[in-house]
Structure 1
Amino acid sequence: MKRCALTFLYLVPAFIAVAQTGQSGNQVLGERIKSNQYFSYVKSKALEVMKTGFNAGDGYREVWIRDYNTFIELAAEVYSKEVLKENLLVFFRMQGDDGNIIDGFTPAEKIGKGETDFSYSKLEPRYAGHKNTVETDQETSLVQAVYKYIQLTGDKSILSEKVGDKTVSQRLDWAMKFLMDHRYNKQYGLIIGATTADWGDVQPEHGWGVDLDNNTHPAIDIYDNAMLIVALNNLMEIDPSSKKQWAEIKERLAKNCMKYLWDKKEQKFIPHIYLKGSPFPADFDENKIYYFGGTTVAIEAGLLSRQEIKASLEEMKKRVKQAGAASIGLTLYPPYPDGYFANKIMNPVYSYQNGGDWTWFGARMIQQLVKYGFTEDAYEQIQPMVKRVKDNSGFYEWYSVDNKPRGSGTFRGEAGVLYTAIRMMENLK
C-alpha cells in the first residue's frame, strides 16, 4: 500500500538551494536530478527490497531498531501504517524492567538450543529480544522512529496506545529516563557507552565484543550524545508537554558536546573521553582518527554551524582521498591499527566498522547536505553510492576500501537512507 510518505516530510525551502547555486544553477541541478539514471534504478530497487521484509538484510534474522529507524520512510511507501505501527509496538512490549530498549527481535521459534543471549516478555510471547549492550543508541533510535512514523502517517494515536500498564508516550519517556539513570555521566553532563569505533557495536576487548562486561572501557563519544539530542528534539515536538522535563537537559547536552568533544583547533570531534582509561596503547594518538558517522549525526542534531558543516565535508572528502575509498560513507580515517580489536571482523584495517565504507551513514550525510543547502555537494557525493547499487545489483551492508561489496546483499538500512536522500533532492524546488 503506497503512502507517498516523503513529500511533506522532507520538503526543503527553495531559498536555501537558490542561495547556494543561484536560480539558473538550481534549475540545471534540478534537471540533472530528474534525469539521473541511477536515481530511478535505486528507488525501484529499494522498493523491491523493502517488499520482502523488515529484517536488516539477508545476513540477519532480527528486526533491529537502529536499522528500522533508517528505513521506516521507505517502508511507508509499500506498507500500511498498521504494519509500521505493529513493528514499533513490539519494541515497547519487549521494553526492559528498567526502561531500556532492545536492539532487535526475532521469532522465538527460530532461537536454537544453546542460544542464551536473549530476553523475553510476557507482553510479546511471539518474539525473543536481543541487545548489544555496548551501544547507547537503541532508546534514541526508537524515539526517532516513532517521530518519523507520526510525521509519515499523521497518526498520533500511537502515543496513547496502551502497552501493559503504560502508554507509548510514557514508555518513550521511560526509555529516555533509562539513559539518564544508567548511562549518564554527571562530571561531563553526557551519556556514556563502551569504547567502539564511532557508531559501531563492537568493543576492542575480548570475545565477540558486543556486551558490557568487566573488561569494558566506558567512554563518551559524539554519536551517542548526538542521537540523544535528536531524539529529545523529536520527543518534545510530538509531545510538547515533555519540554519542561527535557528542554533544559537537551540544551545542556548540546553545550557539553561542543565543550568537551569538539576540537576547535582541528575542527573535528575527538573520538572518546575515557572514564577508566583507554583500551589502546599509551602511545596511540586516537585523536588523529576522524569519525564520519558521529559527525553526520551531530550535524543532524544541529550542533555545527553552516561553516563548520562545510569544513566537515571538506575534511571527509580529503580523508576519503587519502584512504583511496569510494565515498564519504567511510566510517573513519585513519583506521585503528590491525589487532587493536579482539574481534577479527574489525581486522585487518579498512574492515567492517574499522574503515569500511557504509552508505548507511554516508547517505545520511547526503540528507544533511540537502537540508542545509549544500545541494551541489550532495548531488556530487551521492554518485558513487548510487552507482555501486546498480553495479552490484543490490544494497550491500558495506564496501571495502577498493569499493568491493561486503556483508548482507539486501541491506535495508542502505536502501532506506539512499531512497530518502534521493527523494529529498527530487523535492527541491
Structure 2
Amino acid sequence: MQKLLFIVVLQFCMLSVSAQQTKVSSTLLTQIKQNKYFPEVKSKALAVMKTGFNAGDGYREVWIRDYNTFIELAAAVYDKEVLKENLLVFFRMQGDDGNIIDGFTPAEKITKGETDFSYSKLEPRYAGHKNSVETDQETSLVQAVYKYIQLTGDKSILQEKIGNKTVLQRLEWSMDFLLKKRFNKKYGLIIGATTADWGDVQPEAGWGVDLDNNTHYAIDIYDNAMFVIALNNIIQLNPTKAAQWKKIKDGIAQNCRKHLWDSKTQKFIPHIYLNGSPFPADFNENNIYYFGGTAIAIEAGLLSKAEIKTSLNEMISRVKQAGAPSIGLTLYPPYPAGFFINKIMNPEYSYQNGGDWTWFGGRMIQQLIKYGFVQEAYEQVQPMLKRVIDNKGFYEWYSVDNKPRGSGTFRGEAGVLYVAIEQFEKIK
C-alpha cells in the first residue's frame, strides 16, 4: 500500500514539474498569437456571461456543477460579491445531512404541481433541486469555493457564518456526507447510480435523475476523481486538518488506480457494480471508453504523463471511429439504443450517450496544456472553437455530425474555452 501511494505521489510531482518546464516551438507560439478564433471566442464568452448565471437558455437553475466550470469567466465580468453570493446560496440550502443541492431557482418560478424541490429557512428566496443519481455536487462546490478564493484572494468567505456553521465547516460537512452516505468500504471509493460517464441520467424507468428502488449502485472514475480534486482543495483551505484529509485523499487516489484503472488496456473501466448491472448479461460494457471521467482523472493527478499521452491517442482514435467532431465526445462506443429508458439518451450519439460536449472536452484541453502537450492541445481545440464561430454562440452539446444541440448560451462551454484560451495566451 505504501509503495502504491509513493507511485501516485511521484507521478503527481512529475506531472507538476513537466507542466512548469513546458516550452513550445516558435512556430506554435506564432500560431497561438495569430489565432483568429481566440479573441472572438473570448469576446463571445464574456458577452454571454453578462446575461446571467443559469446554465443556459434551456435551464432556469444556477447549477453548481456548471458554476464550478465558468466561475473564472464570471470573475472577469462580475464583482467578487456577486460571485460570493451565488456560492453562499448553496450553503444556505445545504441539507440536514450535509449534502449539497444541484442548483437553485427563484421560488416564485416554481409552478403548481412541481414537487421535486427542497426549501430552506436560511434561504427563502429560492427552491433547490438535486439530481440524486450524481455524486458530484459536494465536490463541485468545494472546487468552486477554492477557485473563488484563488481568483479574488477573499479568504473571508470561509469564516462567513451560515446558520450555526461557518462556510469552512459546511464544506467539510459536505465531504463527511460523502464519506458517511456515499462511501463503499469494500473498495474504499464513493458511489452513485449507474450513469453514462459523468452523466446524470440512470438507465432505469422514469426520468432517471433520482435514486430509487430500481437504482443499480456503482462506482466510477468521474465521481472519485472529482472527490480527489476537492480533497486537494480542502487540504489547502484548512491546513489545520491537512493530515486528516490527506490520508483520505491518498486512499481514494490509491483505490482509483487499484480498482478502476485497467493497466492492460490503459483505460478506466466504466463501472464497478454493487447490486448488479442494469444492462444485459452479454453486454461488454468495458469496451466503452469514458472521455470525461478520464479528463477529470488527469486533473486529479491520477495518470502519469505517458498514460495521459496514451489516453489522448485513444480519444483521437475513437473520435475517428465514431466520425465525431472533437475529443469532447462523451464516450465511445455509445450504449445501444434502448439501454436507457429516458428517451433523451436515445438513439446512439444522443445527449450524454455519445454526444460531443465541449464542456468536458475543453477541460481535457486545459489539462493537456498544463501537462506539456501544448501542440496536441492546440490541434484538438480548433474544432471546438470553430463551431462557436460557425454557430454564433455556445451550445450544450453537438451531434456526431457536429450540429448544435440542447441549450443555447451554454455557459459551461463558454467557461472552459475561456480558461483554455487564457492558458494558451500565457504561454511564452
Tell me the TM-score normalized by structure 1: 0.95
SS in 2 for 1:398: strand
Shift of 1:15: 5.4
Corresponding letter in the other structure for 1:338: A
Query: 5 Å matches for 1:21-420?
Result: 21=24, 25=25, 27-420=26-419
Q: Pairwise CA RMSD of aligned residues?
A: 1.1
State whether residues 30 and 426 of structure 1, in contact with CA within 8 Å, keep that contact through their aligned partners in structure 2.
no
| CA apart distance, 1:153 | 0.2
Residue type of the alignment partner of 2:384: M
Instruction: Specify the alignment match of 1:6 in structure 2.
Output: none
> In structure 2, what is the Cα distance between the partners aligned to 1:92 and 1:150?
16
Given the superposition, is the C-alpha separation of residues 291 and 358 from structure 1 closer, same or farther in structure 2, using an over 3 Å criterion?
A: same
Q: CA deviation at 1:242?
A: 2.3
Question: Percent sequence identity over matched residues?
Answer: 78
| Secondary structure at 2:28 match in 1 | helix
SS of the residue 2:22 aligns to: helix
- Counterpart of 1:246, as a letter, is W
Looking at structure 2, the residues matched to 29 and 155 of structure 1 have their Cα atoms a distance apart, in angstroms, of 36
14 and 253 in structure 1: CA distance in 2 versus 1, 3 angstrom threshold? closer
Deviations along 1:229-250, whole A, 9 cap, x unmatched? 0000011112211213211110
Give the letter aligned to residue 117 of structure 1: D
Out of 5, 14, 17, which is 2:22 matched to?
Answer: 17
The amino acid of 2:347's aligned partner reads P
Amino acid across the alignment from 1:408: S
- Aligned counterparts of 1:151 and 1:314: Cα–Cα separation in 2: 32
In structure 1, what residue type is equivalent to 2:228?
Answer: I
After TM superposition, give the deviation of residue 70 of structure 1 in Å: 0.1
1:329/1:360 contact within 8 Å kept: yes
- Counterpart of 1:16, as a letter, is Q
Whole-Å separation in 2 of the counterparts to 1:101 and 1:245:
22
Mind listing any 5+ residue stretches in structure 2 that lack a counterpart?
1-15
Q: Which runs of 4+ in 1 moved over 6 A?
A: 11-14
Q: Distance in 1 between matches of 2:278 and 2:414?
A: 35
Distance across 2 between alignment mates of 1:236 and 1:81: 23
Task: Report the residue type matching 2:131 in the other structure.
Answer: N
Contact 1:289 1:334 in 2 (8 A): yes
CA contact (8 A) 2:19 2:372 kept: no
**Are the counterparts in 2 of residues 12 and 427 from structure 1 also a CA contact under 8 Å?**
no
Separation in 1, partners of 2:97, 2:329: 35
For residue 252 of structure 1, give the secondary structure of its aligned residue in structure 2.
Answer: helix
Query: Quick one: distance in 1 between partners of 2:179 and 2:322?
Result: 38
Which one is further off, 27-36 or 212-221? 27-36
Q: Following the alignment from structure 2 to structure 1, what is the Cα–Cα distance between the partners of residues 246 and 373? A: 29
Conserved 8 A contact 1:198-1:331: yes
Partners of 2:372 and 2:423 in 1: CA distance: 11
How many residues end up aligned between the 2 structures? Answer: 413
Distance 1:324 1:387 in 2: 17
**Shift, 1:46, TM fit:** 0.2
- 1:427 positional shift: 0.7
Unaligned runs of 5+ in 1: 1-10
Whole-Å separation in 1 of the counterparts to 2:151 and 2:365: 20
The residue aligned with 2:6 is none
Contact 1:12 1:371 in 2 (8 A): no
